[in-house]
Amino acid sequence: MEKYDELLKFTSKYGQQHLLKYWPELDEEGRDRLYSSIKSIDFDKSFKAYSGDSREASSEFSLSDVSPIEVIEKPDESAELGKKYYEKGIEVIKKGGVIAVTMAGGQGSRLGHEGPKGTFDMGLPTHKSLFELQVDQLSSIHENTGAYVHLYIMTSEINHNQTVEFFEANGYFGYPKDKISFFCQNMIPVFDRNGNMMLSAKDKVVTAADGNGGIFSALESGGVFSSEDGKKAAFIYISQIDNCLAELCDPIFIGCAALTGKSCLTKTLMKAGPDEKAGVYCVKNGRPCVVEYTEVPKDMAELKDSNGEFVFGDVNAGIYVFKKSVLEHASNRGLPYHKYVKKTERLDENGKPFKPEVPDCIKLEMFLFDIFEYIDDVTAFRIKREDEFAPIKNATGVDSPATARNLYYRKFRIPMGKIAELDGDEMTRVVWQKIKDIVLEPYIRLNTEYYDLSITNRDATDDKVTVEAANAIKRLKVGVKCATITPNAQRLEEYKLKKLWRSPNATLREILDGTVFRAPVIADGIKPLVSGWKKPIVIARHAYGDVYAAKETAVKKGSKVCISVTDPDGTVTNIPVHDFERSSGIVSGMHNEDDSIRSFARSCMSFSLSCGLDLWFSSKDTVSKTYDHRFKDIFEEVFENEYRKSFEDKGITYFYTLIDDAVARVVRSEGGFVWACKNYDGDVFSDMLAACFGSLSMMTSVLVSPDGCFEYEAAHGTIPKHYKKYLAGEPTSTNPIATLFAWTGALRKRGELDGNVFLIDFADRTERATLKLVGEGRMTGDLVRLSSCENKVTLDLDGFLGEIAKHIYD
Ligand code: UTP
């Protein structure tokens, strides 16, 4: 009982004898553990820290006590100064003059992620952890300079082992193992609301890392200064693990520190508004410091200079570079502790593990920036928020993985392989540009070969531009097209055209030898007229021959009509069609070509495979025993010889039935298949499906060639009514969904062909964000009329696209 007596005496001195409550239940080892846990705590220091929050003591001050901190605006790399800093920074890095420190010892209680925050997967398609993203940056510095910057990761007792194991398990993400080290910061007890220490287990006191200000003593005790690379370095770069945009050892930053000779540069960003909940930099009573937003007097928070900028607007970004010599002296400075109310797991009064729902414990933290009190020349290095600041603090809402992903993609913008871009006419041309500006460009480095298929340019180029565009799609494999005007007599006059140019789609179809697939976009609240349809029905129309290429004539009474076929060897066969002895009439001669039907079959089967949908094909072979039967036979032959195996592997089927049976089955189905139709059937049923699924504005179309070229577009036209309103300066609520989905279709296909997971992910997310918005009742005017949502809100075109863009990376 010697140990027990010792502990009882010791804890009683501080009123903490409840920590021994489970002593009788513990075995010898447990008692030893509890003994060490209690003895490792500096009770005097802990209670002093608990009872003396320096923030509270120093919170009262007025505007006259403060002045702005010195600021250096981060220069652009292309500017002269930027180049100078950059080159200096690279020189320092090459010489091993800087080491990087990542603070990763925190508890991450707000994020609620199991395990160290650095192991968190922020939802990139590569599933890289925050640690890997940071190591990647140092790897690219190595590519750039040939030097490996040594990375020191600050952990704490709660996550040290897991952190090291994570790096071990992942092979240090390809970085040399001897260039990544870990050092542990100190722990301090967590208190309950009554100022008592708690147990996390029957043999352990609840402790937590002592705040990011614990870094100074930890650098010393963790052997960073005395390590080989630590000794060599003149500068110490420090940032936090939870800022996924922090540019580790940013050469401009390092170079600036080296050339200006400042003891400390601290990256700051301009606060977004006077009420932003972030501490601001200033010089108070002659010392540089960060004042908590709760303590900033209103007049100080709102004060602006003659340029309209906040005088005290520099907010801490948590990224620093220190002269090492300054920090070596700082390590023995005692920083004040600040109190935070946080969630902490512990034992409840019955000795059961307890995970609070709300923050209810007092955590003591030192702040790194309190060291500024002891450093003279701290200078703010002002960066652009969007360039380098995307913290992940909370599970949802502000500073969450969703906001960080958004900022991450806005910064890096997804690179992509080239696609053909075919611009078009009238309102859809306006929608086209807005989709690019508002939804695509912010996140993607759009890479397109641009063809202007507007009616005026087709006229100016004698429609050569359409042919060039078609050839570009053949070459690049993927194209996206805006709706275009197919001129008629009225358009001829309206646009003063040289002639009635062909429909661009007909030219594209011909050159690509393609099949058009039309697919409805299904959104919650927009109910198809056929209530059983839950999934899209994609319709494929064979756009060659039959009645569309028929030769027709009127026939007088008494005439006889036959089909006359001349074989290559000159043999003539006459097949009687009809004897018009009773009445005059009409006659039509249709044709189709086996090769075209075969291409059609191949396109349909490839498309079904690419989207994993069953394929149906229908004709009327019982009546048209040669003509339609040939279609049926060719489809069967192509399927058996070329596709059966792949269909089976993919778990999809090919199914033939008579057109009348097909129609009945389609109506009774749930949807979710490709329906291949002959030319006329496709013409009729595609419009029927469009009407039944809601609106043409929700119908996309893709032209697929048998050799695997894809051209995406909206199934609708150029929306001239809206265009007139737009030209008159009136707001329009044009539905951009089909055009947007043409873009996402093309981007996804490009991504699939190139193995670009980021692009595929963008396309998927953009479509999901769009459908979510419509499902929530926020939509364009045309959909408001169709939607069964409650509380519908009509958005104009810009508003709708803006909302989509905002939520892509939610
Ligand atoms: P935060 O102040 O956001 O704290 O840390 P946290 O512990 O990560 O998260 P919450 O507050 O419990 O939700 C900012 C940065 O400082 C590091 C964190 O790992 C993070 O990179 N940090 C914080 C430490 O390294 N040690 C600490 O004691 C506290």
Q: How confident is the model at residue 125 (pLDDT cuts 50, 70, 90)?
A: very high
Express each pLDDT in 725-768 by its tens digit: 999 999 899 999 999 999 999 999 999 999 999 999 999 999 99
Q: Distance from the CA of 214 to the center of ligand 1, in angstroms? A: 11
How far apart (Å, rounded) are the C-alpha atoms in residues 208 and 198? 12
How far apart (Å, rounded) are the C-alpha atoms in residues 804 and 438? 9
Mean pLDDT of 557-567: 95
Q: How confident is the model at residue 793 (pLDDT cuts 50, 70, 90)?
A: very high
Q: Distance from the CA of 255 to the center of ligand 1, in angstroms? A: 28
How far apart (Å, rounded) are the C-alpha atoms in residues 320 and 785? 55
Predicted confidence at residue 686, as pLDDT, reads 87
User: How many other CB atoms sit within 10 Å of the CB of residue 477?
Assistant: 21
Express each pLDDT in 363-407 by its tens digit: 999 999 999 988 989 999 999 999 999 999 999 999 999 999 999
Token pair in block for residue 721:
């009514």
Ligand 1: residue of 101, 103, 243 to mutate (most ligand atoms within 8 A of CB) is 103
Inform me whether the pLDDT recorded for 182 exceeds 70.
yes
User: For ligand 1, what atom is nearest to the CA of residue 103?
Assistant: 25
According to DSSP, the β-strands at 207-209 and 187-189 are antiparallel
Percent helix, strand, coil in the chain, to 5, is 45, 20, 35
Predicted confidence at residue 53, as pLDDT, reads 52
Helices (H) and strands (E) counted in the chain, each on its own, are 29, 37
This prediction has a pTM of 0.87
Predicted confidence at residue 59, as pLDDT, reads 57
How long is the chain? 810
How far apart (Å, rounded) are the C-alpha atoms in residues 125 and 413? 14
Express each pLDDT in 647-667 by its tens digit: 999 999 999 999 999 999 999
**Closest residue (by CA) to atom 7 of ligand 1?**
106
Predicted confidence at residue 331, as pLDDT, reads 66
Q: What percent of the chain has pLDDT over 70?
A: 99
* Beta bridge partners of residue 617, listed in sequence order: 656, 676
Ligand 1, CB cutoff 6 Å, lining residues: 103-111, 117, 154, 185, 209-212, 214, 240-242, 342, 365, 393
Express each pLDDT in 474-489 by its tens digit: 999 999 999 999 999 9
Q: Distance from the CA of 241 to the center of ligand 1, in angstroms? A: 8
User: For ligand 1, what atom is nearest to the CA of residue 155?
Assistant: 25
Per the CB < 8 A criterion, the answer to whether 429 and 167 are in contact is: no
Q: How confident is the model at residue 57 (pLDDT cuts 50, 70, 90)?
A: very low
Distance of CA 394 to the CA centre of its chain: 18
Closest C-alpha among 580, 654, 590, 653 to residue 617: 654
User: How many other CB atoms sit within 10 Å of the CB of residue 115?
Assistant: 15
Q: Distance from the CA of 172 to the center of ligand 1, in angstroms? A: 22
Inform me whether the pLDDT recorded for 45 exceeds 50.
yes
Q: How many degrees, rounded to 5, is the angle at CA 50 between CA 45 and CA 54?
A: 100
How far apart (Å, rounded) are the C-alpha atoms in residues 742 and 713? 5
Predicted confidence at residue 635, as pLDDT, reads 97
Q: Distance from the CA of 68 to the center of ligand 1, in angstroms? A: 27
Least confidently predicted of 236-245, 410-419, 429-438, 504-513: 504-513
Ligand 1: residue of 114, 133, 292, 393 to mutate (most ligand atoms within 8 A of CB) is 393
**Secondary structure letter of residue 358 according to DSSP:** S
How far apart (Å, rounded) are the C-alpha atoms in residues 792 and 394? 30
Q: How many degrees, rounded to 5, is the angle at CA 684 between CA 679 and CA 686?
A: 90
Q: Distance from the CA of 235 to the center of ligand 1, in angstroms? A: 23
User: For ligand 1, what atom is nearest to the CA of residue 243?
Assistant: 21
Express each pLDDT in 660-707 by its tens digit: 999 999 999 999 999 999 989 988 898 888 888 877 888 899 999 888
Mean pLDDT score across all residues of the chain: 93
654-673 residues labelled b (16+ CB within 10 A) or e (exposed) = bebebbeebbeebeebebeb
How far apart (Å, rounded) are the C-alpha atoms in residues 278 and 354? 31
